[in-house]
Amino acid sequence: MLGAVLVARAARLRSHQLPVTPVPAVALDAEALAQRLAGGLRFPTVSNQDGANRDEVAFEGMQRDLEEQFPRVHAAMAREHVGGLSLLYTWAGSDPGLAPVLLLAHQDVVPVEPGTESSWEHAPFSGDIADGFVWGRGALDDKLNLFGQLEAAESLLGSGLRPRRTLLFAFGHDEELGGPEGASKIAALLAQRGVRPLLVLDEGGSILQGIVPGVNAPVAAVGISEKGYLSVELTAEGPGGHSSTPPAETAIGMLAVAVHALERTPLAARLDGASRMLLEDGVGPEARFPYRIVFANLWLFRPAVEGALARIPAASATIRTTTALTIFNAGLKDNVIPSKARAVANFRILPGDSVESVLAHVARTVNDPRIQLRALPKQREPSALSRTDGEGWDLLARSIREVHPDTIVAPYLMLAGTDSRHFRNFTDAVYRFMPLRLTLEDTRRIHGTNERVSVEDYADLVRSYRRFLENAAS
């Protein structure tokens, strides 16, 4: 009887994919696109820790390069500097009654880890084009989206498009620091002007294949929520002195026990929210049997699915608040016992958990009054779920599938943070997605060594943005 119920529920699953008519591929000069992106990668627009030693000349040089490379954009759109180095472009529509669409990207990149420079096949800021790829820091995060959006707009301006709906492009300069001077101030400016976007589109998910068992088609993973962020400092103090007469317990020993307890006591896994929607509503109706039965009956199979996901670090991060020990400092000399030891644990907070609940978990797990706990200032709560129906979602999903008709558009949980969080009070349609085909190996290059993007895939990204803007403009 149970088996019949499970099969019947699986059979009743209906696809949530919008039916579309694929659009012909727009002819683009992929090599010229790559050359312009490569030029942007040569500017070391790095956000160092806490914004120290920012090379403003590099940012200003890249912005002059944008003026030269996209003359139609700079002739037709109003451009404003916000917060010093951030940019806001307005492509005014003919119908002010239509809610605008807001696209985000960021100019800054993370630094290259010292000592890894020789591991790069092409220098991090060379902007080399070789072996079918554009190489350099920012090729994936996030200059390809900035240049890709402007390429799409430049192309449409050349075709004579005059939008009915206003299109806004916001390019922050400090996203890698949380956007305090960039996206935050752009959001404040737009709020002051009473702007209420139909949707906000930022970096995030991409088009991936082989990420869900039982699903052969590529999945366009659209982030509808993102995890929160919290770092907790743990400090232990004890008697220092000469190593020849050690005390029974040192500051290092006390702190080691505490961080070991944190690492061995993860927060509970929970398959819900965007991660559950990915399986139930996104890929479930498209999965082959027997996986379709599992996804259609998570009320029964959820513990087994959670167990399977928990065994894979990348998948585990989608169903729990993660704990990462990132800093451990103590001692100056091998024969001196330090009187103080310090560690930092970083938590990426699953929606449904909170900064307060994670702090309570840390205190409960450490359970040692000798360990001082302090939440570091840079923290944020998880974001609310964006809607997966309505005009904004349909606009994005239709645009993706018109260019990539073989894809399954599905919601998912964004594990990292983006500038989009500054705009989540503007609309319930905040999405995190870049229309780029990536492999799992490619995703490991983000913030890593040998960052690169395929020349042909970048051209497809521009085509996708072009179609999105065409649809949004009407």
* Chain segment 413-465, per-residue pLDDT in tens: 999 999 999 999 999 999 999 999 998 889 889 999 999 999 999 999 999 99
Q: Would the pLDDT of 43 be above 80?
A: yes
Q: Which residues contact 283 (CB under 8 A, 6 or more apart)?
A: 212, 214, 215, 219, 295, 408, 410
Give me the pLDDT at residue 105, please: 98
Q: Is residue 280 part of a domain?
A: no
Q: What is the pLDDT of residue 257?
A: 97
Same structural domain for residues 335 and 445? no
Partnered with residue 91 across adjacent β-strands are 167
pLDDT of residue 10: 81
Same domain, yes or no: 193 and 159:
yes
Kindly state whether residues 126 and 201 are assigned to the same domain: yes
- Is the residue at 277 inside a domain? no
Give residue-wise pLDDT tens across range 155-186: 999 999 999 999 999 999 999 999 999 999 99
Residues 370 and 391 in one domain: no
Same domain, 147 and 54: yes
CA-angle at 104, arms to 132 and 16, nearest 5°: 85
pLDDT tens, position by position, 395-418: 999 999 999 999 999 999 999 999
Whole-number pLDDT of residue 51: 76
Is 108 marked active-site? Answer: yes
Report whether pLDDT(90) > 90.
yes
State yes or no: is 202 an active-site residue.
no
The answer to whether residue 212 sits within a structural domain is yes
The catalytically annotated residue of 151, 175, 176, 442 is 175
Please check whether residues 45 and 183 belong to one and the same domain.
yes
Q: CA–CA separation, 310 vs 319, rounded Å?
A: 8
Q: What distance in Å separates the CA atoms of residue 239 and residue 119, rounded to the nearest whole number?
A: 43
pLDDT at residue 24 tops 80:
yes
pLDDT tens by residue, 251-286:
999 999 999 999 999 999 999 999 999 999 999 999
- The answer to the question of residue 454 being in a domain is yes
Q: How many CB atoms lie within 10 A of CB 316?
A: 16
| End-to-end CA gap in the chain | 52
Distance CA 130, CA 186 (A): 37
Q: In 3D, which of 344, 421, 411, 346 has the Cα closest to residue 382?
A: 421
Q: What is the DSSP letter of 386?
A: P
Structural domains of the chain, count:
2
Mean of pLDDT values over 31-49: 96
Q: Looking at the domain assignment, is residue 439 inside a domain? A: yes
Domain boundary among 359, 375, 391: 375
* Residue closest to 12 by CA, chosen among 292, 264, 330: 292
Q: Are residues 111 and 144 in the same domain?
A: yes
> Which H or E run includes 104?
strand 101-106
Q: Report which of 265, 263, 229 is spatially closest to residue 376, judged by C-alpha positions.
A: 229
- The residue annotated as part of the active site, out of 108, 142, 181, 419, is 108
Q: What pLDDT score does 347 carry?
A: 98
Instruction: Provide the pLDDT for residue 314.
Output: 83
Band (pLDDT 50/70/90 cuts) for residue 3 is confident
Looking at the structure, tell me whether residues 248 and 330 fall in a common domain: yes
232 and 218 part of one domain: no
- Is the confidence at residue 357, as pLDDT, over 90? yes
Both tokens of residue 269?
């896994």
| 167 and 236 inside one domain | no
Q: Round to whole Å and give the CA distance between 214 and 287.
A: 5
- pLDDT for residue 223: 97
As a 3-state breakdown, the chain gives helix, strand, coil percent values, each rounded to 5, of 40, 25, 40
Long-range contacts of 292-295 (CB under 8 A, 24+ apart): 292/10, 292/13, 292/214, 293/6, 293/7, 293/9, 293/10, 294/214, 295/10, 295/13, 295/214
* Pair (258, 215) in one structural domain: no
Q: What is the pLDDT of residue 210?
A: 84
pTM summary value:
0.94
Strand partners, 86: 82
Residue 168: inside a domain: yes
Element holding 90 (H helix, E strand):
strand 86-91
CATH number at residue 253: 3.30.70.360
Position 116 pLDDT exceeds 90 = yes
Closest among 36, 29, 38, 221 to 139, alpha carbons compared: 38
Q: Which domain holds residue 364?
A: 228-267+321-375
Q: What pLDDT does 316 receive?
A: 92
pLDDT at 52: 78
pLDDT at 96 over 80: yes
Residue 203, domain member (yes or no): yes
Residue 1 is predicted with a pLDDT of 76
Q: Distance (Å, rounded) from C-alpha 7 to C-alpha 4?
A: 5
What confidence tens digit (pLDDT) does each residue in 122-149 have?
A: 999 999 999 999 999 999 999 999 999 9
Confidence band (pLDDT; 50, 70, 90) for 12?
confident
- Average pLDDT score over the chain: 95
8 A C-beta contact, residue 165 and residue 361: no
Domain CATH code at residue 120 = 3.40.630.10
**Interval 195-224: pLDDT, tens:** 999 999 999 999 998 888 899 999 999 999
Q: What percent of the chain has pLDDT over 90?
A: 88
Compute the distance between CA of residue 192 and CA of residue 183 in angstroms, rounded to an integer: 14
What is the C-alpha separation between 224 and 31, in angstroms, rounded?
A: 33
**Residue 288 covered by a domain:** no
Task: Tell me, yes or no, whether 128 and 240 share the same domain.
Answer: no
CA distance 353 to 272: 12
